């Protein structure tokens, strides 16, 4: 009977990091070096104790028969992988799992390493209270996986600062790559680790984030990335973060900053410029699964739901923008019209979308009322309804009531309008025959004759009225968009434009812009002066915003308007002042590294460094290595300013 190759294997503790399990096995074995223990357990000749295990299948074959451990137990309970699982594509999941189980894929190992660098502390972190409690309970200490997340600087259970160095001698509590870990609450130099007096009771939103982290770690979710990103897109659509054309708006970043302060974002390793950029959000909820920041996903979900658990239970929503104003039928606004109480097929004319504004013109064939409405893109509904013409039915009712001898006030009440509008209608229709005073029988007879004559003339002048109406449509279009070219006006007005060109060509040619565009010759000297001023202004703002990347040519160009960027790229040889101004604000690598020192210091402090040094910066960022002595001195001087 096969009893296995290992005579023993330590029982994992609650929330114990897999690296700690390997270390405790090594302490109990007869092996002198860690790489010997790793060779026994994982079949790997390496002294590095990596954040994620490799070749677990080899270990599972070596476990004693009475061991209940399996691959899922190690991965779900003793690594931080469950935290990332819902945000990885199927291909990424497969590669990383294959590497953890069989150590077979370079791609999986590389991506797992990137996950660790972006989210897991490169130095082992301990909670002093946990060290003492674990030692009293188990007779030894171990590494808690929850403590290793970069964005937690305190122990979620005790509210005490996590430490990587001895508070007394400042010596590192663990060797690089976790090659040596603590086995008792004593630093490698023999100093007893004591509980710190400083405790943190409230840390903004971090405590809430911790509950979501615990939920992900303790409840391995089978939900796939496609479902997560789908729910995020649905939530963004519901909250109006998509334009009608399907692009994310900057409002998402703005609302994000209203919920989470810049101080919290700094503690979590996020920058304001990153949040305000739509690029990061597009990558997160798109097909790209680079997994920029796990905490950013959690914070984003909390915009839409009180917790991750609630977010995952959201009902699916169909993402579809309603057709502006719908497909009808529509109800007439005239309360005197039969169509007011019943939906009817009104005649409509939709406008083009100009500057995010979309109008529709309604016409009721029953009462001939005309009114316009504007579409509210944000709330997806009709707004700003305005009446252009009350219609013949309404006008006839006003005249009928006037002949009966009713006052303007009573007429207005019966036709659901204002006395001023009634008076204007009567003056327009009756002219000199309009009299505010009480009508006599003789006056009523004259009014009837006027109305009969008006109705006879109406039919004869219908064609002339249409021409006037179409002229008004042209004038209104030009009022809304004065610089619209003829081609767009023709497209907008359709057959009305064709009718005017046939029967009223002279008037149309006088009122519309010329067909031929005037030559557009640039005065490069003036353009160069204006552009250089603009470049200086945007470059200054860019520098003040302290971007996380080096300021290069396209860093400045991308902040300009698109036509300005195009001019510089196409006519740069004719714009010497502008070109010189861009070169003036472009950073060398040395300039960037010096400017970026305060940000690096903030990140180091967030990772547990109390007094960052030049050596810690070099260890933290590869770009600071192998620099000239002159540059190193400048960085050290900047470091002193930042620390002070």
Reported as a single tens digit per residue, the pLDDT across 622-640 is: 888 888 888 888 888 888 8
Question: What six digits make up the tokens of 280?
Answer: 């990061």
Last residue of a domain, one of 295, 312, 329: 312
Write out the residue range of the structural domain in which residue 235 sits.
Answer: 206-312
Domain contains 332: no
354 phi and psi angles, rounded to 5 deg: -120, 120
CA distances from 563 to 127, 531, 560 (A): 56, 11, 8
Domain contains 255: yes
Question: Do 485 and 472 share a structural domain?
Answer: yes
Question: Do 583 and 506 share a structural domain?
Answer: no
Where does the pLDDT of residue 125 fall: very low under 50, low under 70, confident under 90, or very high at 90 and above? very high
Strands laid side by side in the 381-389 sheet: 347-350, 359-363, 370-376, 381-389
Domain contains 339: no
Reduced to 3 states (helix: H, G, I; strand: E, B; else coil), residue 542 is: helix
Reported as a single tens digit per residue, the pLDDT across 207-249 is: 678 888 888 888 766 778 888 888 998 898 888 888 766 788 8
**Would you say residue 474 has pLDDT above 90?**
no
Question: Do 596 and 567 share a structural domain?
Answer: no
344 phi and psi angles, rounded to 5 deg: -135, 165
Question: Do 542 and 469 share a structural domain?
Answer: no
Question: What six digits make up the tokens of 188?
Answer: 């490698």
Domain contains 365: no
CA distance 129 to 195: 6
**Do residues 611 and 643 make contact, with C-beta atoms less than 8 angstroms apart?**
yes
CA distances from 550 to 253, 276, 544, 588, 633 (A): 22, 18, 13, 8, 20
Reported as a single tens digit per residue, the pLDDT across 548-569 is: 888 999 989 988 888 888 889 8
Last residue of a domain, one of 281, 312, 343: 312
Question: Do 542 and 488 share a structural domain?
Answer: no
Question: Do 578 and 597 share a structural domain?
Answer: no
Question: Do 62 and 29 share a structural domain?
Answer: yes
CA distance 293 to 558: 24
CA triple 515-519-525, angle to 5 deg: 150
Question: Do 307 and 241 share a structural domain?
Answer: yes
Domain contains 157: no
Reported as a single tens digit per residue, the pLDDT across 417-436 is: 888 888 888 887 776 667 65
**Do residues 407 and 424 make contact, with C-beta atoms less than 8 angstroms apart?**
no
- The confidence score (pLDDT) of residue 16 equals 96
How many Cα neighbours within 13 Å face the side chain of 134?
Answer: 21
Q: Read off the pLDDT of each residue in 348-359 and give the average, rounded to a whole number.
A: 60
Last residue of a domain, one of 119, 145, 171: 119
Question: Do 236 and 302 share a structural domain?
Answer: yes
CA distance 77 to 189: 32
- The confidence score (pLDDT) of residue 164 equals 92
Domain contains 154: no
Question: Do 298 and 233 share a structural domain?
Answer: yes
**Would you say residue 4 has pLDDT above 80?**
no
Domain contains 434: no
Where does the pLDDT of residue 127 fall: very low under 50, low under 70, confident under 90, or very high at 90 and above? very high
Question: Do 494 and 579 share a structural domain?
Answer: no
Number of structural domains (the chain) is 5
Choose the most confident range, by mean pLDDT, from 135-149, 365-379, 408-422, 549-563.
135-149
Where does the pLDDT of residue 3 fall: very low under 50, low under 70, confident under 90, or very high at 90 and above? very low
Query: What rounded mean pLDDT belongs to the chain?
Result: 81
* DSSP string for residues in 53-69: -S-HHHHHHHS-TT---
**Would you say residue 453 has pLDDT above 60?**
no
- The confidence score (pLDDT) of residue 134 equals 96
Tokens 């619209």 found at: 484
**Would you say residue 106 has pLDDT above 70?**
no
Q: Can you give the C-alpha Rg of the chain in angstroms?
A: 37
Query: Cα torsion at 9, 15, 19, 23 (round to 10°)?
Result: -50
- The confidence score (pLDDT) of residue 402 equals 84
- The confidence score (pLDDT) of residue 460 equals 47
**Would you say residue 525 has pLDDT above 90?**
no
Q: Read off the pLDDT of each residue in 602-615 and give the average, rounded to a whole number.
A: 80
**Do residues 291 and 115 make contact, with C-beta atoms less than 8 angstroms apart?**
yes
Question: Do 74 and 31 share a structural domain?
Answer: yes
Query: Cα torsion at 449, 452, 457, 460 (round to 10°)?
Result: -150
86 phi and psi angles, rounded to 5 deg: -65, -10
Domain contains 553: yes
Q: Are β-strands 359-363 and 381-389 bridged in parallel, bridged antiparallel, or unpaired? A: unpaired
């Amino acid at each position: 009977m096969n009893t296995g190759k290992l005579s023993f294997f330590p029982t994992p503790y609650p929330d114990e990091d897999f690296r700690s399990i390997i270390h405790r096995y090594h302490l109990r074995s007869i092996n002198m070096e860690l790489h010997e223990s790793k060779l026994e357990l994982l079949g790997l000749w390496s002294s590095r104790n990596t954040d994620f295990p490799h070749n677990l299948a080899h270990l599972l074959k070596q476990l004693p028969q009475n061991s209940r451990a399996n691959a899922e137990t190690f991965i779900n309970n003793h690594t931080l992988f469950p935290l990332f699982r819902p945000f990885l594509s199927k291909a990424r999941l497969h590669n990383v799992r294959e590497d953890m189980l069989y150590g077979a894929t370079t791609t999986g190992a590389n991506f797992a390493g990137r996950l660790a660098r972006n989210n897991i502390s490169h130095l082992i972190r301990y909670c002093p209270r946990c060290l003492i409690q674990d030692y009293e309970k188990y007779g030894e200490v171990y590494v808690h996986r929850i403590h290793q997340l970069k964005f937690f600087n305190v122990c979620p259970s005790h509210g005490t600062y996590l430490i990587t160095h001895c508070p007394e001698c400042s010596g590192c509590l663990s060797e690089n790559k976790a090659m040596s870990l603590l086995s008792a609450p004593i630093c490698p130099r023999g100093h007893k680790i004591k509980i710190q007096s400083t405790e943190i009771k409230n840390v903004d939103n971090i405590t809430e984030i911790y509950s979501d982290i615990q939920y992900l770690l303790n409840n391995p979710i089978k939900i796939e990335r496609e479902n997560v990103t789908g729910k995020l897109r649905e939530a963004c659509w519901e909250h109006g973060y998509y334009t009608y054309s399907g692009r994310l708006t900057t409002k998402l970043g703005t609302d994000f900053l209203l919920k989470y302060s810049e101080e919290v974002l700094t503690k979590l390793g996020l920058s304001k410029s990153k949040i305000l950029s739509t690029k990061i959000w597009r990558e997160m909820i798109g097909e790209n699964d680079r997994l920029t920041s796990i905490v950013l996903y959690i914070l984003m979900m909390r915009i839409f739901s009180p917790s991750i658990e609630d977010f995952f239970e959201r009902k699916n929503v169909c993402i579809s923008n309603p057709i502006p104003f719908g497909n009808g039928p529509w109800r007439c606004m005239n309360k005197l019209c039969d169509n007011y109480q019943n939906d009817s097929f009104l005649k409509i004319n939709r406008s083009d979308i100009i500057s995010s504004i979309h109008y529709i013109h309604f016409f009721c064939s029953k009462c001939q009322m005309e009114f316009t409405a504007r579409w509210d893109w944000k709330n997806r509904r009709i707004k700003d309804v305005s009446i252009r013409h009350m219609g013949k039915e309404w006008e006839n009712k006003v005249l009928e009531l006037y002949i009966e001898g009713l006052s303007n006030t009573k007429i207005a009440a019966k036709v659901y309008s204002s006395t001023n509008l009634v008076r204007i209608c009567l003056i327009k229709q009756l002219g000199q025959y309009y009299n505010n005073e009480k009508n006599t029988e003789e006056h009523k007879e004259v009014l009837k004759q006027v109305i009969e004559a008006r109705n006879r003339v109406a039919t004869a002048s219908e064609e002339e009225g249409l021409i006037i109406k179409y002229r008004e449509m042209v004038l209104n279009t030009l009022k809304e968009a004065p610089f619209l070219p003829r081609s767009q006006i023709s497209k907008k007005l359709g057959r009305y434009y064709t009718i005017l060109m046939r029967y009223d060509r002279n008037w149309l040619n006088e009122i519309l812009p010329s067909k031929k565009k005037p030559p557009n010759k640039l005065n490069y000297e003036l353009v160069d002066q204006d552009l250089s001023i603009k470049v200086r202004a945007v470059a200054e703002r860019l520098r003040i915003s302290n971007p996380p990347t080096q300021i290069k040519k396209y860093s400045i160009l991308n902040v300009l308007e698109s036509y300005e960027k195009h001019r510089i790229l196409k006519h740069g040889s004719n714009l010497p002042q502008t070109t010189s101004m861009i070169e003036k604000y472009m950073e060398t690598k040395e300039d960037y590294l010096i400017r970026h020192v305060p940000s690096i210091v903030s990140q180091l402090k967030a990772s547990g460094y109390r007094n960052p040094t030049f050596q810690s910066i070099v260890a933290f960022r590869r770009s600071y290595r192998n620099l000239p002595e002159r540059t190193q001195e400048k960085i050290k001087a900047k470091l002193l300013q930042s620390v002070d």
